[in-house]
Structure 1
Amino acid sequence: MRVCLWVFVVVIVFGFGDGKHAYQRLRTERISGSAGDVLEDDPVGRLKVYVYELPSKYNKKLLQKDPRCLTHMFAAEIFMHRFLLSSPKVLITSLLCPMTSEPASTIRKRKPSSGAFFPLLQRATLVQTFGQRNHVCLNEGSITIPPYAPPQKMQARQIPLDTPRSIFVYFRGLFYDVNNDPEGGYYARGARAAVWENFKNNPLFDISTDHPATYYEDMQRAIFCLCPLGWAPWSPRLVEAVVFGCIPVIIADDIVLPFADAIPWEEIGVFVAEEDVPDLDTILTSIPSEVILRKQRLLANPSMKRAMLFPQPAQPGDAFHQILNGLARKLPHDRTAYLKPGQKVLNWTTGPVGDLKPW
């Protein structure tokens, strides 16, 4: 049961008022070859930002009750809230789904005098870790963010870059949810059960339900890291694989990946359909070595690793800034708003103008 649901609401309203604290000016620029844009301080465009202080039982008191919420994969919600309150570049429309009646009532009572709140929700941009196509809480234009993985802990567990990757396929986690689905037919739609039954005795596959103390180090010694769906299509394994340079093998047919315009998932990962799991050994061993090396070189880019993490304090190019950049691109700006002084052509990347991929 998820107990760390951190509820906060921030609403942006495009406006043209003169209130000094009601809006921030914003401009975005994409640095060539980087994973994402970098926000600058000379903004173009105007918006009003309303941060609603909900009852503390929906957020702050959760930490008093269970400090593990700060390291849980849903902790991105907590750090997003903190970053928003401390950032001079605030631009976000975020609602957690489902919205319970009490928070909704609180917001309704405190809505901005200049506009009706709930009609605005029809045009809301959801910032969420759901990452699942056709989900009830995922609408067109939503921004999918990575689940939280502790940056300091992972940084402290780095091993020498020249350490050989002697593990071909690595995975630690559940194959069966024995409490809720002991037969494995519903959990992960049977994909995890298929991994275990087909490859538990395969010497190329280092897979187990154990979670050893050397988990992070082992991922850095692996070539491929399995990232299968569970009850949801995503998990922190995706973040860990990117940070540790292990090629993510994504087994989740309906997954929506975070920051797809900033991270070239097709080029750094391997996508395997759930029905093709029994052929996983053939699929991975048939990938040419030069393709594997290219994926590893791309994964070695520090900007890509940074884009998946929520460090404290926030850093340029990190996940928090990726979210702000995704939202900034939704502003009703003229195309020229994103040009540097003297620049006549919008250059998003080293590639063609219309290509948002950084490679």
Structure 2
Amino acid sequence: MRTLWWVLGFVLVGGFGLGYGAGKSLHTERISGSAGDVLEDDPVGRLKVFIYELPSKYNKKILQKDPRCLNHMFAAEIFMHRFLLSSPVRTLNPEEADWFYTPIYTTCDLTPNGLPLPFKSPRMMRSAIQLIASNWPYWNRTEGADHFFVVPHDFGACFHYQEEKAIERGILPLLQRATLVQTFGQRNHVCLKDGSITIPPYAPPQKMQAHLIAQDTPRSIFVYFRGLFYDVNNDPEGGYYARGARAAVWENFKDNPLFDISTDHPTTYYEDMQRAIFCLCPLGWAPWSPRLVEAVVFGCIPVIIADDIVLPFADAIPWEEIGVYVAEADVPNLDTILTSIPIDVILRKQRLLANPSMKQAMLFPQPAQSGDAFHQILNGLARKLPHDNSVFLKPGEKMLNWTAGPVGDLKPW
């Protein structure tokens, strides 16, 4: 079986480009039915968004202090703001708005190593909500039920990078009625609010475009992964990080010739993904990572190892048909699982991944392009309209507790 796969690896479909700026491949397939239709929806004309004008200390000044925020995987909050400012769905008349958007860059507080610290985020968010509630009447009509916030941190609006601490904090109380646009999604988790829109993390489109290789390059790597298997600094005993799934990948397959896995991050990383049939997308500290975006963009079948994950735009992208789900407990059987997938199934997944609209939906390009992640977010908001009358509060009615949460959150920001 292994020999057979090594031979097949050289004849399976090669790379397909990023969808935009690349020639259209003949080896593509459109997903049939509602998923494909939703993916190609046009949100323009179906909703209007009012953008609150906040003091620059909530957004632009934070970015000026540390421009690295433009390139990390949480940058969707910045680019979504820029997109909406010039979007045809924007309205300057709040009385006709379907949705209200508050542009706050809550993840742009970075350590010297570039890791975002979420400790100020609850105070920032609370301060901004106090501001809009004091200066405009729209928040108080619904206590945020017709407002959306982009919260792309590890555990969304729970605002902590360690899961147990995030669970302990819970979603910021003032956001309990708002719609959250977030990268985090895991079923039955306190940090995933009902009605949230799960989005892909930010991956730099121009950088990926610069690393495209010839579309007919054979896929000679069977399984590819680059990244940590153990986080020795934060999890010295090795059982908590990635719930042990990454450690299991390494221990079981480090010497397996079908698996090209390493902690090294070569300069050919993007090129290697375009030469691979399967790309592992295991959970880390959170269940998601930019590898999922990179795999889809480069036509490498994502192997999703994250139990109960809620994937980006799951009502539009047919994840079951383009990817492979492997339970965390089944990681020791990865070689058997992947080599048992029929060739015709592999080829169909590759043809679906070759569809430019599939790639476009995972990206935040500048300028925005039809069908991209910006538009998928708007599609998600449009599908939640019209708002039910129950979102509007009766005169004097209150539902949110402004003094709930840790004492530190209540300090002025």
SS of residue paired to 2:279: strand
Q: 1:296 to 1:93 in 2, by over 3 A?
A: farther
Matched with 1:227 is 281
Matched with 1:68 is 68
Q: 1:332 to 1:118 in 2, by over 3 A?
A: closer
SS of residue paired to 1:233: coil
> Does structure 2 retain, via aligned residues, the 8 Å contact 1:31–1:37?
no
Matched with 1:108 is 133
Q: Given residue 266 of structure 1, which amino acid in structure 2 is its aligned partner?
A: E
Map 1:252-267; keep pairs closer than 5 Å.
252-267=306-321
> Does structure 2 retain, via aligned residues, the 8 Å contact 1:94–1:127?
no
Matched with 1:309 is 363
Q: Which moved more, 1:83-92 or 1:284-293?
A: 83-92
> Does structure 1 retain, via aligned residues, the 8 Å contact 2:36–2:316?
no
**CA deviation after TM superposition for structure 1 residue 61, in Å:** 2.2
Q: Given residue 131 of structure 2, which amino acid in structure 1 is its aligned partner?
A: T
Matched with 1:297 is 351
SS of residue paired to 2:131: helix
**CA deviation after TM superposition for structure 1 residue 52, in Å:** 2.5
Matched with 1:18 is none
2:332 aligned with 1:278, yes or no?
yes
Matched with 1:78 is 78
- 1:114 and 1:274 mapped to 2: Cα distance? 42
**CA deviation after TM superposition for structure 1 residue 145, in Å:** 0.6
SS of residue paired to 2:261: strand
> Does structure 1 retain, via aligned residues, the 8 Å contact 2:51–2:100?
no
2:183 aligned with 1:129, yes or no?
yes
**CA deviation after TM superposition for structure 1 residue 139, in Å:** 1.6
2:47 aligned with 1:51, yes or no?
no
**CA deviation after TM superposition for structure 1 residue 132, in Å:** 2.2
- 2:257 and 2:199 mapped to 1: Cα distance? 35
Residues 214-272 of structure 1 show CA distances to partners (whole Å, capped at 9, x for unaligned) of 00000000000000000000010000000000000000002110111211100000000
2:63 aligned with 1:35, yes or no?
no
- 1:44 and 1:150 mapped to 2: Cα distance? 29
Identity of aligned residues (%): 79
Q: Which moved more, 1:256-265 or 1:113-122?
A: 113-122
- 1:113 and 1:211 mapped to 2: Cα distance? 48
**CA deviation after TM superposition for structure 1 residue 56, in Å:** 2.7
2:164 aligned with 1:160, yes or no?
no
**CA deviation after TM superposition for structure 1 residue 92, in Å:** 4.5
Q: Which moved more, 1:104-113 or 1:285-294?
A: 104-113
2:173 aligned with 1:148, yes or no?
no
Residues 268-302 of structure 1 show CA distances to partners (whole Å, capped at 9, x for unaligned) of 00000001001111111111111101100000000
> Does structure 1 retain, via aligned residues, the 8 Å contact 2:52–2:101?
no
Question: Structure 1 unaligned runs (5+)?
Answer: 1-29, 334-359
- The structure, 1 or 2, with the larger RCO (C-alpha pairs under 8 Å, 6+ apart) is 2
- 2:192 and 2:328 mapped to 1: Cα distance? 22
SS of residue paired to 1:116: helix
SS of residue paired to 2:42: strand
Residues 139-196 of structure 1 show CA distances to partners (whole Å, capped at 9, x for unaligned) of 2221101100011111111111110100000000001111110222000000001111
> Does structure 2 retain, via aligned residues, the 8 Å contact 1:34–1:303?
no
Q: Given residue 250 of structure 2, which amino acid in structure 1 is its aligned partner?
A: W
TM-score of the aligned structures, taking structure 1 as reference length: 0.78
Q: Which moved more, 1:126-135 or 1:178-187?
A: 126-135
Give the structure with the higher percent helix: 2
- Quick one: which of 371, 383, 386 aligns to 1:329? 383
- How many residue pairs end up in the alignment? 301
Question: Structure 2 unaligned runs (5+)?
Answer: 1-33, 91-97, 107-120, 146-174, 388-413
Residues 10-49 of structure 1 show CA distances to partners (whole Å, capped at 9, x for unaligned) of xxxxxxxxxxxxxxxxxxxx99767331134xx367x6x4
Q: 1:86 to 1:243 in 2, by over 3 A?
A: same
- 2:340 and 2:138 mapped to 1: Cα distance? 62
Matched with 2:155 is none
> Does structure 2 retain, via aligned residues, the 8 Å contact 1:168–1:204?
yes
> Does structure 2 retain, via aligned residues, the 8 Å contact 1:79–1:310?
yes
**CA deviation after TM superposition for structure 1 residue 94, in Å:** 5.6
